[in-house]
Structure 1
Amino acid sequence: MSELNKTPLYDLHIELGGKMVPFAGFEMPVQYPMGVKKEHIHTREQAGLFDVSHMGQVKLTGSNAASELEKLVPVDIIDLPAGKQRYALFTNAHGGIMDDLMVTNYGDHLYVVVNAACKAQDIAHLRANLGNGVELEVLDDRALVALQGPEAATALSRICPEVNELVFMDSRHIAIDGVECFISRSGYTGEDGYEISIPEAEAERLCRLFLAQPEVEFIGLGARDSLRLESGLCLYGHDLDENTTPIEGSLIWAISQCRRANGERAGGFPGAEKIFDQIANKSFTRKRVGLIAQGKAPVREGAELVNAEGVRIGEVTSGSFGPTVGVPIAMGYVASEYAALGTEIYALVRGKLLPMVVSKTPFIEQRYYRG
């Protein structure tokens, strides 16, 4: 572990009893003394603080930054309003997903957050493909944390009342206790909450201030994973990869109308032809679906999915017990003819066939604050 990177909050994790594990090249807390299940429930009922400083933060400047970035993603960047954030996908020439990311328009620049495991690849991809005077700056001197849960706004607004003015996917530069932060009202849990980029030197001090609020506890990677799974949110490298298109990944909603085949700025992104063909002709053979186990045994990533005759029809890509819903849940890919809601299929676990039902996602009601 000596070769792993540490986030600016590493010492605080150790002080508070975080169990550290390798993750995407960093030492990250998988849980705290409270334990994964209690951390999950605490986030659903109050507010959890997550260290996500391993993610990549990038600033793009230049008058053509939006139009240049739009050439790499199937979403509308040019008309993204100032102060708003949008989910995006890097696609490759075959329509596969290279990574998913968040893009914010701060008026005079774009702020991009990419996944930790893809950070080096994504930055190289941007450097190689952004032209026309776009300047790329890697913000490696900032921490990134997420404050999530129904009490997140209550806790943060005690320190910084201005955050109450934000609604879901709003972003703003706001000073917290004298420190300028980049704050968006968004997150990865299905709950209301904020993602906060903080100058590295002030990260521990501000996080101690957050943790001093009675609603807030530090939460590790274990609960982060079960929270996002209940919320039907994909984990790149598991539920999405470079061989999976947005259509196969059930992410057609992430392709802006103006970028589709009949839109005013149609295409122009890698793999557009294949993606448009899959939309128009349903020429895909598999689909990401939600799954609920009919028994009590969790079904984990990698489990084979079969039909009633025992013929392989897919694979689980994420699976766990859902502490909020009280049953084992999963996401995975199945042959298209088995993707309809209510279809019963089976997971092969240690030689046993466990019945599962194709179900809608998210498995819980998302509670984003929309005003």
Structure 2
Amino acid sequence: MAEPAPLLQTPLHAEHVTLGARMVPFAGYDMPVQYPTGILTEHTWTREHAGLFDVSHMGQAFLVAEDKSHETVARALEALIPADVLNLKPNQQRYSQLLADDGGILDDLMVTRVGAPGHEGRLYLVVNASMKEADYAHIQARLPDGVSLDRKDDLALMALQGPSAEAVLGKLAPETAGLPFMMSTDVRIGDSQCHVSRSGYTGEDGYEISCRAEDAAKLWNRLLADPEVKPIGLGARDSLRLEAGLCLYGHDIDTTTSPIEAGLIWSIQKRRREEGGFPGAGRIQREIKEGPARVRVGIRPEGRAPAREGAIITTPEGREVGIVTSGGFGPTVNGPVAMGYVSKDLSALGTDLHLVVRGKPLPAKVAAMPFAPHRYKR
């Protein structure tokens, strides 16, 4: 039997080990799942102060138009994703999905129009770690002449999330304090050149900070020197995004789900909904018009027992109607929360469902998402 490939390490690996993190394999990397204080403490700290996450395993790349035209590079990407890239302002960021020909989701990603003078005709992409090789191959194979993909494996990425994030980063780079949600800027922090966006994956206000791999440890420790900041692992990252009602690729969205079924219609701007021109446009436009057969919903189980991914969703009479795609205990809401897909007729808020946990049906109700309110800086 072939030996499994050795785990990759992010530029911050040694820092996690020094901090006593419990390391686990994740998307081919050796990653911190938690630090000694534990997931619950890390989750609460991020909601109340500022958590620092290593997300350097994510894929960072640039799409580059030879003619330095934004229209050229935007149209190349619009042939692959349903977001309006053409009308992005310089330094503006958007969330979207790479789509298969049938409208299924190959991955989700963040797209930013590079705004730095002299760098026109460039889009900055961030894709999921588990999918980056497949994503890069998919994109590269479908680019027109004159547009190329420049992957940046020499960059690190960290996220500073929580109500204290603005004050913390503002001390090191004052221009980041006024940055609106889903906008970005290039700043110098000490001797590190960084690209900072006002975004994240926790539902909290915060930033994602890209820098050169060789500068990552210094910047990480500089941020951790602030008493408002603590390191946060994958465990709390997952419970935070679940409470925020955010999709995890390979779980809540995959090649079997469309953006409309997943409740992501907000990420497809009006022009693209009407014009189409992206993979699976026929299906997606039909689902917008007629409604999809099934939809992703929030679910609140009664009692304290969480329903994990894979739990069967039934009607109170026992008819199987779906599956839990993400589930666990929500520390902020002090109870179990879950997401899953059910048929459209069972998706109304308050609908009674059962979740089968260890063979036992537990009562639950369809609930509004996010479970914990978003606190983005609008």
**Shared topology, TM-score over 0.5?**
yes
Q: Deviation digits for residues 213-268 of structure 1, max 9, x if unmatched?
A: 0100000000000000000000000000011011111111111100113xxxx111
Corresponding letter in the other structure for 2:336: P
What does 1:301-316 align with in structure 2 at a 5 Å threshold?
301-316=309-324
* Percent of matched pairs sharing the same residue: 54
Q: Deviation digits for residues 123-165 of structure 1, max 9, x if unmatched?
A: 0111011113012110100100000000011111111111112
2:305 equivalent among 294, 297, 300: 297
Please name the residue that 2:360 is paired with.
352
Deviation at 1:10, TM superposition (A): 0.2
- Please state whether the residue corresponding to 1:6 is helix, strand or coil: coil
1:106 aligns with 2:114: yes
Please name the residue that 1:145 is paired with.
158
What does 1:324-339 align with in structure 2 at a 5 Å threshold?
324-339=332-347
Please name the residue that 1:286 is paired with.
294
Question: C-alpha separation between the residues in 1 aligned to 2:359 and 2:220?
Answer: 47
- Please state whether the residue corresponding to 2:177 is helix, strand or coil: helix
What does 1:180-191 align with in structure 2 at a 5 Å threshold?
180-191=193-204
**Aligned residue pairs, count:** 365
- Please state whether the residue corresponding to 1:65 is helix, strand or coil: helix
Q: Deviation digits for residues 10-46 of structure 1, max 9, x if unmatched?
A: 0000000010000000000000001000000000000
Question: C-alpha separation between the residues in 2 aligned to 1:114 and 1:341?
Answer: 32
Question: C-alpha separation between the residues in 1 aligned to 2:259 and 2:307?
Answer: 24
What is the RMSD computed on CA atoms of the aligned residues?
Answer: 1.0
Gaps of 5+ in 2: none
Q: Deviation digits for residues 148-198 of structure 1, max 9, x if unmatched?
A: 000011111111111112010111111111211110010000001000001
Q: Deviation digits for residues 282-326 of structure 1, max 9, x if unmatched?
A: 2x3211000011111011000000001101000000001000001
Q: Any runs of at least 4 consecutive aligned residues in structure 1 with deviations exceeding 3 A, and if so which?
A: none
Gaps of 5+ in 1: none
Question: C-alpha separation between the residues in 1 aligned to 2:303 and 2:344?
Answer: 24
Q: TM-score, normalised by structure 1?
A: 0.97
Corresponding letter in the other structure for 2:136: I
Please name the residue that 2:28 is paired with.
25
Please name the residue that 1:77 is paired with.
85
Question: C-alpha separation between the residues in 1 aligned to 2:187 and 2:148?
Answer: 24
Please name the residue that 1:362 is paired with.
370
Q: TM-score, normalised by structure 2?
A: 0.95
Please name the residue that 1:132 is paired with.
145
What does 1:1-371 align with in structure 2 at a 5 Å threshold?
3-62=6-65, 63=69, 64-107=72-115, 108=120, 109-261=122-274, 266-282=275-291, 284-370=292-378
- Please state whether the residue corresponding to 2:307 is helix, strand or coil: coil
Question: C-alpha separation between the residues in 1 aligned to 2:322 and 2:166?
Answer: 41
Question: C-alpha separation between the residues in 1 aligned to 2:5 and 2:142?
Answer: 34
